[in-house]
Structures are given as structure tokens and as C-alpha cells.
Amino acid sequence: MGGIIHMANDHDQVQHKHHGHHHKHKKHNAWKLILGVIVALIVIVGAIGGKFYFDAKKAVDSTYKTVKTQDKREGSVNLEKSQPFSVLLLGVDTGEYGRTYQGRSDTMMVAAIAPKKSTLVSIPRDTKVAIANHGSNNKINAAYAYGDVAGAINTLQNYLDIPIDHYVEMDMKGMEQLSKAVGPVKVDNDLDFTNLGHHFDKGMVTINSDNILAYTRMRYEDSRGDYGRQMRQRIVLMAMVKKIASFDSLTKYQQILNAISSNVKTDLTFDDIKTIAANYNDGAADNIEQIQLQGQSQMIDGVSFEIVPKNEQVKVQKNLKQALKIKE
């Protein structure tokens, strides 16, 4: 998951310089990231059936939570006819380190899914936006704190000028639980750093349940700031999903299901996910255009924001509208 790890402070004064307004385009299995480990489990279900199928259905059913949002689409998307649709992936920090209060959305990605190609847009958490009833000087991750998932969806719909059809929310505490169930994974680390008492050398490093939050939440020692952190979150989650999908033995599947059911919420049903896996697998999983919405760091009244130029915002809007076949 959707997922992209700490409670943001509105008076965070650490500044990071980001040069240029370019997009990064990659083809990879980000499709699995969009639906997190849920899609991987559905794939596994087809191979083993029986008790695991019903356990998986029960786990996914327990994640279902509908939300009421502003309706920016005429009619609804027909998944059976493989129509393009959008998903908001939220990684939230509510459960990290035992928190029980409403956190902020630490990771925000919007995916436009079509059968032959998908587009994934990463949105910096400090992006300056207007939030309904809360003024114009806000960080975009505050929309979740103010209005939960509905608030995040409404704000993103207005900012990107597209309908958000579905969402997948993952509490980042689930990263720890999922890591414990899946076991260690190796990732290629491009930055030598120390965080929360854990040191990570440049090159291949092992990520486990003890150091996963230290690795995925660091941003202050990275000149890329939140962009670097988003990248680390993506590569770790994809490594875990890949390991789940390649299991020869599913002795730990119940732990994986428990991690999902305890930490994931979505308005996609089990049948929706099966339909998506069946009807959108002709290139959607391999042909991914990844776009990083990018701006410049700027201090405003003692608060560090990412200021996205209007032309950059419009360019991303056009990419998403084309992917969703929405007329401008």
C-alpha cells in the first residue's frame, strides 16, 4: 500500500533544496504497491484455494470502509468493462510507536489504472494547498488530520482536478507487523546514514521489523528530503510484496493476513480486487509511468512548505486526465 513516517510538525524548520521541476518515469511493479499486499494475496489465493481463500476474503472484508466524498465523476466506473479508475494510496502515521490519536498522511500517491498502462503520481507531504474551512496555508498531509480519508480525497480531487474513485489506507505501524510476518528483505540503499540508533551502509542492506521504521521514516539526513523518504518506503514495500508472492511455504500467511486486517482500510471489496486483478493485468502491472510532483522548499511564517509551480501542477493534472480519459 497503497501505502507510503512520523507526525509532522507545522513548525518544522528543516529545509531541503530541490532543483528543477522534472518528472521521473519508471516501469516497475508499482501496481502491487497501489493495492499493497492485498493484490499479492489475491494472486496467491488462486494458487492454493481452500481455507486460505476464505481466510483471505475474511481479512479483506474486514478492511472495507466506505467514505462519503464530493462527487467529481458523472456516474461510476465499471470495473467489469476495464474502464480507467483512480486510487488514492495513503500511508498514515496514527499507529506508529503506539499512537492512538489521528495522525497525518505520511505518504500520498494517486494512481490512474488502465488495462494496458498505469500512472502513479507521488505527492510531497509538505505541498502547500488550500484545505476547505482551514485556509490556504496548509500542508497537504493536514487534510487527513482535519477530515480523515474523506478530507484527503476531497483536497486531492480539488488540487489535481480529477475524481478519486477509491482509496487504500495503510497505518505505517503495519509496516512493522508485516515485516515481522514476512521476514527480512534486502534492498539497494543509495545513501549512507544513521537513524534511531540504526546505521545503514550504502549498497545492499537488510531490512527487518527492528529497523524498518528507522529506514523508511528518515528524511533529515537526505538532501532529497521527503522525496528520498518516499523512495525508501516504495522499495521496501515492493520488496516485501515480492517476497510474499514468491513464498513456497505459506506457514506465516495468517500473520500476514492479521497485519493487513489490522492496518489497512479500503473501499474496494474482495470482489472488486478480484475483478481488477483479472481485468487490468494486461500491462498495467508492468507498464507504469511514475511521476513525482515536485516543487521548491520555502519558509512561510516559520513553516517549511513545498511550493509547486502552477505549470508543474497543470502538467500532472493533464497526465492524470489523459490516463483516466477525462475530457479537459
Percentage of the chain lying above the pLDDT 90 cut: 40
Average pLDDT (259-287) is 80
Instruction: Write down how long the chain is.
Output: 328
Percentage of the chain lying above the pLDDT 70 cut: 77
| Lowest mean pLDDT segment, chosen from 45-49, 106-110, 298-302 | 45-49
Q: Which CATH topology does 30-67+74-175+251-323 take? A: Nucleotidyltransferase; domain 5 (3.30.420)
Mean pLDDT of the chain: 80
pLDDT in tens, 190-217: 999 999 999 999 999 999 999 998 998 8
Give the pLDDT band of residue 4 (cuts 50, 70, 90). Answer: very low
Q: What's the predicted TM-score (pTM) here?
A: 0.78
Whether the pLDDT of residue 289 is over 90: the answer is no
Q: Which segments of the chain are extended strands (E)?
A: 85-92, 105-113, 118-123, 128-129, 138-139, 166-171, 185-189, 193-195, 198-200, 203-207, 264-266, 288-292, 296-300, 303-307
The most confident of 73-77, 106-110, 255-259, 322-326, by mean pLDDT: 322-326
